[in-house]
Amino acid sequence: MSKLVQPPKGTKDFLPEEMILRRRVIETIRECFVLYGFVEIDSPVFEYFELLSRKCGSEVEKEIYVFEDKAKRKLGLRFEFTSPLGRYYATNAEKLTKPFKRYIIGKVYRYENTQAGRYREFYQADADIIGSYSMNVESELIDLAVFALDKLGMGNYEIIINNRKILDGIINAAGIDESKKDAALRALDKTAKIGESGVIKEFQENGIGEENYRSFMRIIDLDHATDNANKLSILKERLIAELKDESFKQKAAEGIEELSSIIQNGKAVNGGTDAHSDADVIKFDPLLVRGLGYYTGPIFEIKSKDLSIGSFAAGGRYDNLVELYGARPEGACGISFGVERIIDIIMQKNTGILQSVSSPVKIYIVYLTEKEKPYAYKTAKILRSNGISAEICVSSEPNIGKEIKYADRKKIEYVAIIGEREAAEQKLTLKNLKTREETVVSAEETAEVIK
């Protein structure tokens, strides 16, 4: 016997029950995008490598799946949707209504270490707005996130925010040279994974002193602050006092004002349910970095407070990105939902959810002999025309007991039995597998019962 072939590392097969749950999650997110006025687009799964790597940072560049086509062109599989959006927008800018609110849901690919909630092939669901520099954009995206997560029943999460302008100011105030900024931010982004000693080691490997790290941490020490507003106020005072470069001082102050605006907007906007307002879940964290190199302003991540599974949604502002691909500069901001991690959280919080999902097939039709076959197909067509998913038995010699067990295993609620009598009367025997009740009805009446 030949050896079983497993899917490649970092990928997985999905059973029918898993796909039902995945489809429900994806469609819930899609419905929320549409409710907020976003329109769907699509773009190639692979792009020129030079485009994908143009502003992603050296660490992310290593994670891109790269290949050459038969004409020796260097291509890469998309590792996220924002870089391709920059190219898409630059290519189609004249045809698009601005501000351009787009969403896209699909697979992306990253060559990275696999772990819980982290795969090499996975679904993302992104919503972006291009054409505005207003912080109302960030507020809209955060409100969308709260609305969607409440619809998904996620519960008990927090939205962590920071601003790249603030980080640039802290980096400068800590005495870290501008040429070392990216290396410092990459190391700081790993704080939760590698700890203080690991960050200091990476600093030193990149020619940044431990004293620079200590200065950075001293500036962001806000443990005694009472709330977001207090943290931002204290940080602003420190940066004004310690920054000598006026441009850094001005940008840092601007970044603090932008976050204050987002937090204030969160207090004014209802999150989509009576459960809480957006402001209840927003938390300022000066150590939030976001590894992608194209961010220019506010950045945010959404994490579960119950489970150690990493962020399951994230995003930020990238005002310079579309200019890299030939378009004029535009204000731009987006959010990305990690579909796999959201599903992992749902399954961890409700371990029996796959056993409880109902089948999308509403009725299973069994005809007893070939003579009843035409009426069975006629019945199925009537039900399908009424929007009811119907499956017909394909066995040449059906056994009623076995067919009912088959429908039961697939969690189909109804079985329609068509024998000689039912076909003659243009009826069917409808059996509810939950209640075990049977009734004799027409196809039209069946449609009403199921609806």
Give per-residue pLDDT as tens, 356-382: 888 899 999 999 999 999 999 999 999
Helix (H, G, I), strand (E, B), or coil: what is residue 101? strand
User: Is a pLDDT exceeding 70 seen at residue 401?
Assistant: yes
Helix (H, G, I), strand (E, B), or coil: what is residue 144? helix
Q: From the CB of residue 40, how many other CB atoms can be counted at a distance below 10 Å?
A: 11
Which among 226, 232, 218 has a CA at the least distance from the CA of 162?
Answer: 232
Least confident of 1-15, 22-36, 67-81: 1-15
Task: Calculate mean pLDDT across residues 11-24.
Answer: 92
272 pLDDT tier (thresholds 50, 70, 90): very low
Mean pLDDT of the chain: 91
Residue range 178-208, pLDDT digits in tens: 999 989 998 998 898 899 999 999 999 999 9
pLDDT value at position 357?
83
pLDDT value at position 276?
53
Helix (H, G, I), strand (E, B), or coil: what is residue 229? helix
User: Is a pLDDT exceeding 80 seen at residue 2?
Assistant: no
pLDDT top residue among 270 and 35: 35
Least confident of 49-63, 242-256, 266-280, 296-310: 266-280
pLDDT top residue among 292 and 250: 250
User: Is a pLDDT exceeding 60 seen at residue 409?
Assistant: yes
The single-letter DSSP state of residue 274 is S
Residue range 109-132, pLDDT digits in tens: 999 887 766 789 999 999 999 999
225 pLDDT tier (thresholds 50, 70, 90): confident
Residue range 344-356, pLDDT digits in tens: 999 998 888 888 8
Residues in the chain, how many?
A: 451
- For residue 348, give the amino acid letter: Q
String of DSSP letters for 161-199: EEEHHHHHHHHHHTT--GGGHHHHHHHHTTHHHHHHHHH
User: For the chain, what percent of residues have pLDDT higher than 90?
Assistant: 76
pLDDT value at position 277?
56
* Domains of the chain as residue ranges with CATH: 7-133+319-357 (3.30.930.10), 358-450 (3.40.50.800)
Task: Calculate mean pLDDT across residues 387-396.
Answer: 93
pLDDT value at position 294?
85
Tracing tokens 């994490």 back to the chain, one arrives at 303
Least confident of 70-74, 282-286, 305-309, 317-321: 305-309
What's the burial of 419, exposed, middle or buried (CB within 10 Å: 0-12/13-18/19+)?
Answer: middle
Task: Calculate mean pLDDT across residues 235-247.
Answer: 92
pLDDT value at position 1?
62
What are 68's strand-pairing partners? 74
| C-alpha dihedral, 353 to 359 to 360 to 362, nearest 10° | -140
pLDDT value at position 396?
84
User: Is a pLDDT exceeding 80 seen at residue 398?
Assistant: yes
Residue range 207-220, pLDDT digits in tens: 999 999 999 999 99
Least confident of 22-26, 270-274, 374-378, 390-394: 270-274
Least confident of 165-174, 287-296, 387-396, 428-437: 287-296
What is the pTM assigned to this prediction? 0.88
pLDDT value at position 74?
95
57 pLDDT tier (thresholds 50, 70, 90): low
User: For the chain, what percent of residues have pLDDT higher than 70?
Assistant: 96
User: Is a pLDDT exceeding 80 seen at residue 449?
Assistant: yes
Residue range 80-99, pLDDT digits in tens: 999 999 999 999 999 999 99
CA distance 408 to 375: 23
pLDDT top residue among 218 and 4: 218
Strands 311-317, 298-304: pairing kind: antiparallel
Task: Calculate mean pLDDT across residues 226-243.
Answer: 92
Q: From the CB of residue 15, how many other CB atoms can be counted at a distance below 10 Å?
A: 8
Which among 276, 277, 240 has a CA at the least distance from the CA of 262?
Answer: 277
